Amino acid sequence: MNTKLKALWGGYGTVLVLAAVIFILLPLSLDLFRLNLVGKYLTYAFVAVGLVLCWGYGGILSLGQGVFFGLGGYCMAMFLKLEASDPESTKIQSTPGIPDFMDWNQLTELPGFWLPFKSFLFTLFAVPLVPGILAFIIAVAMFKRRVGGVYFAIMTQAFAAVLSILIIGQQGYTGGVNGITDLKTLHGWDIRTDEAKYLLYYINGALLIGVVLLGRFVIGSKFGKLLLALRDREERVRFSGYDVANFKVFIFCLAAMFSAVGGAMFTLQVGFMSPSFVGIVPSIEMVIFTAVGGRMSLVGAVYGSLLVNYGKSYFSETFPELWLFLMGGLFIAVVMLFPNGLAGLSNQWREWRDRRRPKAGGTVTPLTAPPAGATPPPAGKDPLPPVASVGGGR
Amino acid sequence: MSAQPIVLAVENLTVSFDGFKAVNDLNLYVEKNELRVVIGPNGAGKTTLLDLICGRTRASAGSIKFKDQEMTKMPEHQRVRKGIGRKFQNPSIYESLTVFENLEVSYPRGRTVFGSLFFKRDAAVRQRIDEIAALIHLSDRLEDQAELLSHGQKQWLEIGMLLMQDPELLMLDEPVAGMSVSEREKTAELLTRISDNRSVIVIEHDMDFVKRIAHKVTVLHQGKMLAEGSMEKVQADPKVIEVYLGH
């Protein structure tokens, strides 16, 4: 029981530390410009946390999370853009009252699908639901047909490519390659002021902690165990009476909706949304954040997002020609040296230390050794060495 | 025993893979509380037969009736919910979960997405897990990760996972393969005990083991039934001897 309590504290302890880092440490140690950058990095963490659930636990690798991040961001951007395009401030256009890029593309009327985004309430629902519904359609189409693994990953990539090409191609409706820019106010509240930036940073942080806690709830439930079970033995789960596809659909949609919230917060904090956050490259980068942080750790994924993006800024500022190579090197190094990411480092370190220490030292690996007095293993069979189970995993 | 109702009726069952008929026009009836062993040389279609019954493979023709209900069109998880349990040849357990969690995940409540999200580990669940763990000799390993179990213990764990669902028809594919002598003993005992209130189909090669447990033996050969009856009767059958010794 004591160990269980400890584990519980250990679990929430890491979330508390993360909250302290986000709410206290970073705001106190960074100027507003840097803090705003960190806020942007933290919006990617929503995607990374979703990927921990979907990929780390569920074994569903999605290389298209940018689609959902982008759609969430676009939903928010459309609302903000409409608010910024009131007839007064667009009176020099040939058609006042519509977004500027539409006017440049000879549109004379707001397209129908933009109309609902005049309502803030609608937008709030659309941010998670539009990407959620798309994810649902994709997931049902794939998982009910038992498409999985690499094939699913390739399909998600195709979706990322399709959506970014669509957005770029339909310039008059979407703002094209520039995206939706010049966003000013949210319900009359100027999002470009310093106070607004601070407030948005904190809202973003609070939402992120909320998403991490929700993720914890999912992992802690029977559903979480089933995710692990179907990652490792899908057949066994199916023949235990579960409709496996439904479980995959749900976790994929949840991850998509997490990403969408991140996308919307990105738009609010950075002030624009463009197809460069939708396509294949950003989607793969988001997987890298998760891999670096540790794909089995919700909190680790947040640190992974921070670290990789900080590295990206640092490398690109310091070595403008080399930074992509350095990023690639970082990813390869992480995959080869720490397959469980930052979060797996502590376990790996412990294992390494134990291996170096001579066995004569007594009980050094108490982690998962079978309890004394357990049924003796049948003659002729060695008990499995406990080391194999601890950090290595898969 | 003949007074027992028929639980499983397989009639004219055929499955063909690119023209090769792995199971060919097979008829098989299993009664309530019966422990049936299916034997036959390699490639006789034993595993395919189990695959067909549990839905892993779709039948090309014929019917599978479980408690008078047609199964051939039903998705796998529905068949499980109707009461058909299937153990795979290689122990198929969740290595990354503990023994307790392996059993818990197999508990037949909270089988939908939201049901599993809000599933509560209540006294009934614990009690059931304790019962099953005692039955499969794993009571003191409940908190261990399943991958630390020995091969034989993994086999038992998978049987235990099936028992959690309390199936009316339990199908076991070579449950004692790779087991030590003492483990075989215990497994035979276990099988006799669990066939008390349900029907069991076992595929097995070990003839001593078959003799110990079987009520009735079905011999398959090239997808067809070769012989059926008590072990003595089947062993004395010249066709069976021919198939087993002629190769």
CATH number of B6-246: 3.40.50.300
Residues of chain B contacting A217 with CB distance shorter than 8 Å: 117
Residues of chain A contacting B110 with CB distance shorter than 8 Å: 222
Residues of chain A contacting B118 with CB distance shorter than 8 Å: 221
pLDDT at A363: 43
In this complex, do B112 and A246 lie within 8 Å of one another by their Cβ atoms?
Answer: yes
**Interface mutation vs chain A, best among B143, B148, B182, B186, most A CBs within 10 Å:** B148
pLDDT at B246: 60
Report whether A101 contacts A172 (CB < 8 A).
yes
Residue extents of the structural domains in chain B: 6-246
pLDDT at A110: 93
Pair of tokens at residue A217: 């709830």
Q: To the nearest whole angstrom, how far is the Cα of B19 from the nearest Cα of chain A?
A: 25
| Chain A CB within 8 Å of residue B92 CB | yes
Pair of tokens at residue A188: 């009359």
Q: Does A384 score more than 50 pLDDT? A: no
Q: Which residue of B has its CA nearest to A247?
A: B113
A:B CB pairs within 8 Å = 118
pLDDT at B245: 66
- Percentage of residues of chain A with pLDDT beyond 90: 69
ipTM given for this complex:
0.91
**Interface mutation vs chain B, best among A222, A249, A368, most B CBs within 10 Å:** A222
Give the tens place of pLDDT for each residue, A20-71.
999 999 999 999 999 999 999 999 999 999 999 999 999 999 999 999 999 9
B residues 183-242 closer than 8 Å to A (CB): 183
Give the tens place of pLDDT for each residue, A173-186.
999 999 999 999 99
Residue matched to tokens 């798309």: A134
Q: Does A375 score more than 50 pLDDT? A: no
pLDDT band at A6 (very low <50, low <70, confident <90, very high): low
* Nearest-by-Cβ selection for B148 from A218, A235, A370: A370
Q: Which residue of A has its CA nearest to B79?
A: A241
In this complex, do B97 and A388 lie within 8 Å of one another by their Cβ atoms?
Answer: no
Report whether A62 contacts A157 (CB < 8 A).
no
Give the tens place of pLDDT for each residue, B190-208.
998 888 889 999 999 888 8
**Interface mutation vs chain A, best among B113, B114, B121, most A CBs within 10 Å:** B113
Report mean pLDDT in 10-residue bins for chain B, 247 residues: 80 91 93 92 90 93 94 94 92 93 94 93 94 94 94 94 94 90 92 89 89 91 91 89 72
Length of chain B: 247
Residues of chain A contacting B143 with CB distance shorter than 8 Å: 371
In this complex, do B95 and A232 lie within 8 Å of one another by their Cβ atoms?
Answer: yes
pLDDT band at A140 (very low <50, low <70, confident <90, very high): very high
pLDDT at A383: 38
pLDDT at A344: 83
pLDDT band at A370 (very low <50, low <70, confident <90, very high): very low
Report whether A18 contacts A205 (CB < 8 A).
no
- Give burial (CB, 10 Å; 0-12/13-18/19+) of A366: exposed
The b-or-e profile of B216-241 (16+ CB within 10 A means b, else e) is: bbbbbbebbbbbbeebeebbebeebe
pLDDT at A8: 60
Q: How far apart are CA A109 and CA A88, in angstroms?
A: 16
